[in-house]
A and B are shown apart, each in its own frame.
Chain A
Amino acid sequence: MQEGAFAGVPKEVVYAIAMVLAALVVLSVFVAPLAGVTSWLERRVWARMQSRVGPNRVGPQGILQWLADGIKNIMKEDIIPAAADQKLFPLAPYVVFMGFLCAFVVIPFGENLIVADLNIGILYLLAVTSLVVVGILMAGWASNNKWSLLGGMRSAAQIVSYEIPAGLSVLTIVFLAGTLSMQGIIKAQGWGPWDWFIFHNPFTFCAFFLFFTAALAEGNRTPFDIPEAESELVAGYVTEYSGMRFLFFFFAEWGNLYVIGAVATTLFMGGWQVPPIFDNYPALKGIAQFVTFFLKAYFWVFVAMWIRATLPRVRVDQLMALCWKYMVPLSFICLLGTIGFMFMDDQARRIFSAITLGFAIATIINFFRRVGFQFRAAKPEAYWKPQI
């Protein structure tokens, strides 16, 4: 730092520039492709479930479709309606985008692969993802469009309400792990399903589903996609947006999908924990951790896509009733129950853990039997060819 090109520049400025550059690199080589590929995957998965083909032209299997869409949207004219708020309208997409992007700071992709292992990691995550609602409300109000306004108001009510069950479910895990740090929570779990917090006791098992449902609602996903319900509100808060600004909203939505999966994985499913056989190969271990985490998170992304392809949308009053009448009390019960379990001795806890795991396996087997029944009964004309 004393000589060379940076001579005379204060150390802090150099660090700041380095951080911005690093952020740019992370943004362009990881987050953007991640959100893009998720959008492609969703369209593809969705198409197959609807016996369609989906995008398959750009690149192998259409995997570069998101790039084509992005380029198209950048080239489009940037329209700001004359009646819209000239300052807030252009700003809103960036607020939404920032809210989702900041979440990536604390997502632990591996033991050493984390931007910043904040000691308040999960709290930070809950806080910055709330920035999305500010952006959506801003977009809804600034558009000066009645549909946008309705969408924005719905979104604000929905996200603020569902923060509570989500936060309480997270708190359940925080109590168990005794830390708010993302890495700390993962380190408190093991690599096998029996060491995951989801199977720790029946209450955490319930808390997981409460968390996932609430997270879907916070991410505006079906069946809680009422802020942008296209059959009711045209396009909700994005009605007036076009081009790249429009894309930013959806970029954030698909990116958020991955964040939901990643947080669910971190809190409940053991995060990046890999079997101890990798201990002797440090390089391999890093890769295995990343792959494990990525696949676990993507599994929940896939589940969210599946839900979106299956379920209709709830009405706004039903949505609120679901949150306040059922999910909030249930998540309180989960919290209290887990506290009770923390006083239980280890031997008894292990038994409950085994029972929960057995119940979960039985549920999964039953689930797949039912899926199999649907397949046999329906004789679907789905394309079984993986490549088309």
Chain B
Amino acid sequence: MSDNAADTGFYAEEMTINVGPQHPSTHGVLRFVVKTDGEMINEAIPDVGYLHRSIEKIGEKVTYHGYVPYTDRADYLAAMFANQAFCMAAEKLGNTEVARRGEFCRAIACELNRIASHLISVGTFGQDIGAMTPFVHALRERESINNLMEEICGARLTYNYIRIGGVGYDIVPSTMTKIAEFLDHFEPIVEEFNRLLSGNKIFIERLAGVAVVSKEDALSYNLVGPNLRGSGIKWDIRRDIPYSVYPELDFEVPVGTAEVGSLGDSFDRFWVRIREMQESVKILRQCMKMIPRGPAISKVPKKFRPPAGEYYARVEAPRGDMGFYVVSDGSEYPYRVRIRTGSYTAMSIIDKLSKGIMVADLIALIGSLDVDAPEIDR
């Protein structure tokens, strides 16, 4: 007599759940098809494409200058970096000099934006774990950065600040003072944030040893940015493929140190972001000391026609290596624009990591990888 499921009347089957596209912690519109056995996940298949705006195709239809505002939308939490990557590619193609003051303005704006983006990341991560207060505190600080950005370039989210040849507007001395005031205010806030969230026993218990990414996995799945550094690999475009003024600056590249669990767990990725914010503060202070006088933008023709060729420019965005591959055929419009972002590759590892973890851990995993829907789909 067989005692299979149908005979006994009891049978267990996998439950397929749709996480997203409308789900509180999918950070935009992501979708995961999750197969669960009770609380345990057997499989979580990411499904992307809900936020596709064909930014790459648009690049073939607008001029080089006109494309800069579109790049803002590639990752609206860190718009400055897409600006910079595209402008760097265009400058290399057109052999354009970048004003030195403009380079420093770029670095200042970018690092402010990096802090803002990481604040969102760690704040929403706290919220995914269930702590509401750190999220609001992080957003409060980000609001001050948005105010600064408004003073710098007139926009709070999609900046269109970095232009081919430099930056759109110079940073005036009064704004510099305000940035310095903000930095003095911000440094203790990071400490407070750590006391409130990072040192919390429940928070650590939730993350230590969860969704561990080994060094080999991190490399083979092409993780970049804080996700890669969380696994203990010291790789930062600012340091290893230097661009802009970063070779002149003195900063550390924080890597995961298995602070509470094993190397490459969710907490390490979170902790790298916290320390990167502190490094950004350091970079900002140096930039504000070193910034020279002079024009913020060099002479660039209104009709920008780079000679035929191709270039791949990459910057270290908050979500890792962001690259713009631009092909020019000598006309006013780019022949092809291809964007490479960190979140897209981070999504691919979720399938591997999610086997055998719990539903709550999946949320922690998505949060710790800091995947960002607009960046995945472009």
| Chain A contacts to B: CB under 8 angstroms | 46, 49-52, 146-147, 150, 153-154, 222-223, 225-226, 229-234, 308-318, 374, 377-379, 381
Indicate if B25 sits at the interface (CB-CB under 8 A): yes
Given known contacts A377-B191, A378-B188, is B136 in contact with A232 (CB within 8 Å)? no
Q: What are 16 A-B contacts with C-beta separation under 8 Å?
A: A146-B15, A231-B24, A231-B25, A231-B127, A231-B129, A232-B363, A233-B359, A311-B131, A311-B200, A312-B130, A312-B200, A312-B203, A313-B206, A314-B202, A316-B358, A316-B360
Complex Cα gap A223–B131 (Å): 9
A383-B132 Cα distance, complex, nearest whole Å: 19
Q: Quick one: CB contact mask for B169-189 with A, threshold 8 Å, 1 for yes? A: 000000000000000000011
Residue positions of B touching A, CB distance < 8 A: 15, 17, 23-25, 38-39, 126-133, 136-137, 140, 188-189, 191-192, 195-197, 200, 202-203, 205-206, 358-361, 363
Residue of B nearest to A373 (CB): B195
10 nearest CB pairs, A to B: A313-B130, A50-B136, A312-B131, A231-B25, A312-B129, A312-B130, A378-B192, A231-B128, A315-B360, A312-B203
Q: Are B130 and A225 in contact (CB under 8 A)?
A: yes
Select from chain B the residue with minimum beta-carbon distance to A145: B17
Bound Cα distance from A312 to B367, whole angstroms: 14
> Which residues of chain A are near B206, meaning CB under 8 Å?
312-315, 318
Closest to B361 in A: A315
Check B203 against A231 for contact (C-beta < 8 Å): no
Residue among A150, A153, A311 with max Cβ neighbours from chain B (10 Å): A311
Q: Which residues of B contact A223 (CB under 8 A)?
A: 130, 202
Closest residue of chain A to B127, judged by CB? A231
Q: A309-B132, A311-B202 are in contact. List 8 more A-B contacts (CB 8 A).
A: A150-B39, A230-B24, A312-B203, A314-B202, A315-B205, A315-B358, A374-B195, A378-B189
> How many contacts A-B (CB < 8 Å)?
90
Provide the bound-state CA to CA distance between A52 and B133, in Å. 10
The answer to whether A150 touches B126 (Cβ under 8 A) is no
- Chain A residues with Cβ below 8 Å from B188 are 377-379
Q: What separation, in Å, do the CA atoms of A318 and B203 have in the docked complex?
A: 12
Chain B interface helix/strand/loop/mixed = helix
* Given contact pairs A50-B136, A311-B202, A312-B200, A229 touches B17 in the complex (Cβ within 8 A): no
Residues of chain A within 8 A (CB-CB) of B197 are 312
Select the residue from A52, A232, A233, A234 with max chain B CB neighbours within 10 A: A232
Chain B proximity of A304: nearest CB distance (Å): 14
Least Cβ distance of B371 to chain A in Å?
15
Q: In the bound complex, how far is the Cα of B140 from the Cα of A316, in angstroms? A: 31
- Do the beta carbons of A234 and B358 come within 8 Å of each other? no
| Chain B residues with CB under 8 A of A46 | 132
- Smallest CB separation, A326 vs chain B (Å): 13
Instruction: From A52, A222, A230, A378, give the contact of B136 (CB < 8 A).
Output: A52
Contact among A234, A309, A317, A374 for B133, CB-based, below 8 A: A309
The chain A residue with its CB closest to the CB of B124 is A231
Cα distance, A358 to B358, chains bound together (Å): 44
Q: Flag if B133 contacts A49 (CB, 8 Å).
A: yes
Residues of A contacting B195 in the complex (Cβ-Cβ under 8 angstroms): 374, 377
Cβ contacts under 8 Å, A52 to chain B: 136
- Whole-angstrom distance between the Cβ of B86 and the nearest chain A Cβ: 34
Taking CB atoms, residues of chain B closer than 8 Å to A231 are 24-25, 127-130, 363
B137 pairs with A146, CB closer than 8 A: no
- Compute how far the CA of A232 lies from the CA of B36 in the bound complex, rounded to whole angstroms: 14
Docked Cα-Cα span, A311 to B360, in Å, equals 16
**In this complex, what residue of B is CB-closest to A46?**
B132
User: In whole angstroms, how far apart are the Cα atoms of A147 and B127 in the complex?
Assistant: 19
Residues in chain B near residue A230, CB distance under 8 A: 24
Tell me the complex Cα distance, A316–B360, Å.
8
Q: List residues of chain B with CB within 8 A of the CB of A51.
A: 136-137, 140
Most chain A CB neighbours (cut-off 10 Å) among B196, B200, B203, B359 = B359
A107 to chain B, nearest CB (A): 30
Nearest-neighbor residue (CB-CB) of B38 within chain A:
A153
Q: How far is the CA of A146 from the CA of B360 in the complex (A)?
A: 15
Contact of A310 among B128, B133, B360 (CB under 8 A): B133
Bound CA span A108–B28, Å:
49
Residues of A within 8 A of B202 (CB): 223, 311-314
A55→B38 CA distance, assembly (Å): 39
Which residue from A50, A222, A314, A379 sits with its C-beta under 8 Å from B137? A50
CA distance A316 to B359 in the complex (A): 9
Q: Which residues of chain A are near B25, meaning CB under 8 Å?
A: 231-232
The minimal Cβ–Cβ distance linking A375 to chain B, given in whole angstroms, is 10
With most chain A CB atoms within 10 A of its CB, the pick from B17, B23, B206, B360 is: B360
What separation, in Å, do the CA atoms of A226 and B358 have in the docked complex? 13
B126 x A312 contact (CB < 8 A): yes
Are B359 and A232 within 8 A (Cβ)?
yes
List chain B residues, Cβ under 8 A from A381: 140
CB pair B131–A147 under 8 Å, yes or no, is no
A229 touches B137 (CB 8 A): no
B359 contacts across to A, CB distance below 8 A: 150, 232-233
Q: Kindly state the separation between the CA atoms of A46 and B361 in the bound complex, as whole angstroms.
A: 26
Residues of A within 8 A of B361 (CB): 315
Q: What is the minimal beta-carbon distance from A228 to any residue of chain B, in angstroms?
A: 11
C-alpha gap A261/B24 in the complex (Å): 31
Complex alpha-carbon distance, A46 and B137, angstroms: 12
